[in-house]
């Protein structure tokens, strides 16, 4: 089989699936002791309501699992801008952030491998995503901050894992990955469509020459929308997914 005429590079959380509760749970367990004698559903029920509300706010400003740690700060309840969020995160000790990320990752691995059905139920695919992946089957790469094992497990649950050619997990440098895949697959950057709900990621990939589209159904704020409009970044509505189709060759 020859090279594809086009390549679709997708973020995962916030583009392919909604995993807000799962992310809140592993974030909580990243700082608080993960008692593995308590079931996942019970631990989810025990999440403090004020923590969940802070996490909802923090999620809109985060690119990586590391960034979720800000939800543990009481001051996070007052975040009103990306600058507010950035100041809180940058004030944290790198060692504290590292230990949080390791513990949250371990909690996610445990839930995925030991309480798989519960864990999978915390991930919901957005409307139109299965059809999009099948249309682009074999020409899709996932570029995500989530770990690759989790991505494969979730896609497998929905019978979609074979539609994806590669998964780049725990990825903090998405622009570089898009450039790498473009070169390796022999697909010009102008024929690569990248979709992400994070404004920073979408802007950085746009600078490579790829067709970067900013997903409107994920995690974002009015501030981000105003900035995207000022920079003329092309938004993508979930209803537009039906119009994304690979070029026939």
pLDDT digits (tens, 9 = 90+) for 36-52: 999 999 999 999 999 99
pLDDT tens profile 4-61:
789 999 999 999 999 999 999 999 999 999 999 999 999 999 999 999 999 999 999 9
| Total count of domains within the chain | 2
pLDDT of residue 245: 72
Q: Are residue 211 and residue 136 in the same domain, yes or no?
A: yes
For residue 3, the model assigns a pLDDT of 63
Are residues 207 and 161 both part of a single domain?
yes
* 29 and 117 assigned to the same domain: yes
Domain that holds residue 157: 7-18+125-243
Residue 204 located in a structural domain? yes
Residue 1 has pLDDT above 90, yes or no: no
Question: Could you tell me the pTM of the whole model?
Answer: 0.93
Q: For 116-125, what is each residue's pLDDT tens digit?
A: 999 999 999 9
What is the CATH classification number for the domain harbouring 133? 3.40.50.1000
Where among 121, 150, 178 does a domain terminate?
121
pLDDT of residue 246 exceeding 90: no
In angstroms, the CA 242 to CA 55 distance is: 31
- Pair (48, 147) in one structural domain: no
């Amino acid at each position: 089989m020859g090279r594809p005429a086009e390549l679709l590079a997708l973020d995962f959380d916030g583009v392919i699936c909604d995993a807000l509760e799962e992310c809140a749970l592993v974030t909580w367990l990243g700082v608080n002791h993960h008692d593995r004698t308590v079931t996942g559903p019970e631990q989810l029920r025990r999440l403090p309501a004020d923590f969940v509300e802070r996490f909802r706010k923090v999620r809109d400003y985060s690119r990586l699992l590391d960034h979720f740690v800000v939800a543990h700060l009481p001051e996070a309840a007052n975040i009103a801008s990306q600058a507010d969020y950035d100041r809180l995160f940058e004030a944290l000790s790198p060692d504290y952030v590292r230990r949080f990320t390791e513990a949250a990752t371990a909690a996610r691995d445990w839930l995925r491998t030991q309480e798989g059905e519960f864990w999978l139920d915390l991930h919901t695919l957005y409307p139109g995503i299965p059809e999009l992946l099948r249309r682009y089957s074999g020409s899709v790469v996932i570029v995500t901050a989530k770990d690759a094992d989790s991505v494969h497990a979730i896609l497998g649950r929905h019978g979609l894992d074979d539609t994806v050619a590669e998964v780049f997990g725990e990825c903090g440098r998405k622009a570089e990955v898009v450039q790498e895949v473009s070169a390796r697959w022999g697909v010009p950057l102008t024929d690569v469509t990248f979709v992400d709900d994070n404004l920073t990621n979408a802007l950085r990939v746009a600078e490579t020459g790829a067709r970067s589209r900013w997903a409107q159904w994920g995690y974002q704020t009015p501030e981000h929308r105003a900035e995207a409009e000022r920079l003329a970044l092309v938004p993508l509505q979930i209803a537009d997914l039906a119009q994304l189709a690979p070029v026939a060759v």
